[in-house]
């Protein structure tokens, strides 16, 4: 009986460890900080994505975005905003990129974590994206009284000018409450 309990405990522990390894949709190799963290592979890569062209992607293949309000490097997206827009953070070391990504750097977030930047612009993933699909380009939303326009970051670190409505996609519902969000 004792052996059966030990075997059951080992199987349960193994399953729990496997589940932890898959947490955050495979985005995290280092779990310090509130956003997407990376440690082993290139922090940022360049990839061709349908509808947006050659853009920057996180380690897991999700498109990277930057909001217009943070173009000067000041973090404005925090709190409720981060439920939709996940900061690309790095627990330690320097961010790395594939050729053509742009100049990477780091900026300290209000919570103390280190967010990856390209050409001074903080990088985020969109919670409704999946690897290889960029659905947040041109999104406009409001959090805490700040009105954001999000654009996918192109190769070289520039933001695109296209919007979802220009490509025929529907506009997201927005709200003007102080809590912000999408009004779902």
Q: Number of H helices and number of E strands within the chain? A: 1, 11
143 inside domain: yes
- CB of 150 within 8 A of CB of 50? no
Model pLDDT, residue 10? 40
- Tens digits of per-residue pLDDT, 11-51? 333 333 333 333 333 333 333 344 544 445 799 999 999 99
Q: pTM value?
A: 0.69
Which residues form the domain of 96?
26-167
Q: Which of 159, 145, 139 is nearest to 56 (CA)?
A: 159
12 inside domain: no
173 inside domain: no
Low-confidence ranges of the chain (pLDDT < 50): 1-34, 36-39, 163-184
> What total of structural domains would you count in the chain?
1
179 inside domain: no
- CB of 1 within 8 A of CB of 7? no
How buried is residue 169: exposed, middle or buried, by Cβ count under 10 Å (0-12/13-18/19+)? middle
14 inside domain: no
Model pLDDT, residue 40? 54
93 inside domain: yes
Model pLDDT, residue 72? 78
Q: Residue 108's beta-bridge partner residues?
A: 114
Model pLDDT, residue 71? 78
Quote the Cα angle for 35-38-79, to 5°.
Answer: 10
175 inside domain: no
Model pLDDT, residue 127? 97
72 inside domain: yes
Model pLDDT, residue 160? 67
Model pLDDT, residue 28? 34
């Amino acid at each position: 009986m004792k052996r059966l309990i030990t075997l059951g405990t080992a199987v349960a522990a193994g399953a729990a460890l496997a589940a932890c390894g898959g947490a955050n949709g495979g985005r995290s190799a280092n779990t310090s900080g509130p956003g997407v963290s990376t440690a082993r592979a290139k922090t940022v890569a360049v990839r061709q994505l349908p509808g947006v062209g050659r853009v920057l992607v996180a380690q897991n293949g999700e498109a990277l975005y930057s909001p217009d309000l943070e173009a000067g490097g000041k973090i404005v997206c925090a709190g409720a905003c981060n439920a939709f827009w996940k900061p690309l953070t790095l627990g330690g070391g320097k961010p790395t990129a594939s050729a053509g990504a742009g100049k990477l750097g780091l900026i300290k977030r209000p919570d103390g974590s280190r967010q990856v930047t390209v050409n001074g612009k903080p990088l985020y993933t969109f919670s409704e994206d999946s690897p290889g699909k960029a659905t947040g380009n041109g999104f406009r939303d409001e959090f805490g009284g700040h009105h954001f326009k999000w654009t996918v970051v192109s190769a070289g670190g520039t933001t695109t000018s296209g919007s979802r409505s220009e490509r025929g996609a529907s506009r997201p519902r927005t709200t003007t409450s102080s809590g912000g969000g999408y009004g779902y």
